[in-house]
């Protein structure tokens, strides 16, 4: 059962990563690109977790946690820069 489901899920998540890239390249405004990056890191976490189940390794969770942390900080820093013109005041 899992052997069928995981490749399907990997394909779906990979397709969503591709769509995020499309929005990242095309996005008419800066904020669209930031939103695309934000979605991209969440999709990367999903991809890593799926790969972890597929391979059967728990090594990927630390990577996923780090990506979650850094992605959030990146989004907040970019938004802060757009709003205030400075990141740390």
Partner 1 sequence: MLDYLISFLILTGAIFTFIGSLGLVRLKDFYTRLHGPTKATTLGVGCLLIASSIYFSIYTAGLSLHEVLITIFLFITAPVSAHMLAKAALHVGLRSLAEIPEEKLAEKKKGSAAAKQANIQEAGKPPSAESIETKDT
* Residue 15 exposure: Cα atoms within 13 Å on the Cβ side: 6
Interhelix angle 60-84/30-55, rounded to 10 degrees, is: 170
Q: Of 29, 86, 88, 89, which one interacts with partner 1 (CB under 8 A)?
A: 29
For residue 1, what are its two tokens?
């059962």
Taking the complex as a whole, how short is the minimal distance between the CB of residue 66 and partner 1, in angstroms?
A: 10
| Identified binder of partner 1 from the candidate list 55, 69, 86, 88, rule CB under 8 A | 69
Rounded Cα distance between 61 and 45, Å, is: 9
The contact set with partner 1 (CB under 8 A) reads 1-2, 4-6, 8-10, 12-13, 15-17, 19-20, 22-23, 26, 28-32, 34-36, 38-39, 42-43, 45-46, 49-50, 52-53, 56, 58, 61-62, 64-65, 68-69, 72, 75-76, 79-80, 82-83
């Amino acid at each position: 059962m899992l052997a069928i489901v995981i490749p399907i899920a990997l394909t779906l998540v990979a397709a969503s990563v591709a769509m995020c890239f499309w929005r990242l390249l095309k996005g008419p405004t800066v904020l669209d690109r930031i939103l695309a990056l934000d979605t991209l890191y969440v999709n990367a976490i999903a991809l890593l977790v799926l790969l972890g189940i597929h391979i059967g390794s728990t090594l990927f969770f630390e990577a996923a946690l780090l990506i979650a942390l850094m992605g959030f900080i990146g989004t907040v820093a970019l938004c802060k820069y757009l709003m205030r013109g400075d990141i740390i005041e």
